[in-house]
Structure 1
Amino acid sequence: MPALEKEQCEACRADAPTVTPEEQDTLMQELPDWEVIKVDGVNQLRREFRFRNFVQAQAFTNRVADLAEEEGHHPAILLEFGKATVRWWTHKIHGLHRNDFIMAARTDRLFEE
């Protein structure tokens, strides 16, 4: 199987299923720096990225935003001095879809570049 970041996102429908707990556990093994949190009853992937200053955090935030726009799948991003917090989830299904894990892996790749 290709690395998660190389997988293609699929168009998500409102009736698409969320990942099962077993699928989530397996996918999380590829995303060790991410955590699953619950916000207003909705499971989301969350990671905080640290930087030396605001400018670096802002540049990273812009790259994540560009990636999100390319895929038509948009996260919540909190930009602060020296850090950016990214949360992925699928709004249409009020939870986690495989696409969210793919996008989290791609976000990790952006951070490593």
Structure 2
Amino acid sequence: MPENWEWVRLKDLGQFSSGKTPSKQVPSNWANGTINWFTSKDIKSDYLSKSQILISEKATKELQLYPAGTLLMVVRSGIPKRLFPVSLLKAPGTINQDIKAFQIYDERIWFVVK
């Protein structure tokens, strides 16, 4: 580890949270979607601006909306057995239950990534 680096716990840098899937029994959650809803299928590049599936604003009432700069990582499904997909949001969106979001308390921490 470089001399000018310091060990810290992730919980001191930001907070983790999870997503979920809006009810598929409610068609208005999925009709005319304008809000990014990221799933493990989207986590294929370093940066994310657009999800494959969009949900309605109504559907976001029960979900957390994450700002650009949030780190997304796939933690469920069979994918983490062989890969650990991680992407940084470049546009706001929400996530499903297969993903954990890590929101940084101080955005200056991402100087290494940018």
TM-score (norm 2): 0.25
Structure with greater proportional strand content: 2
Structure with greater proportional helix content: 1
Larger Rg: 2
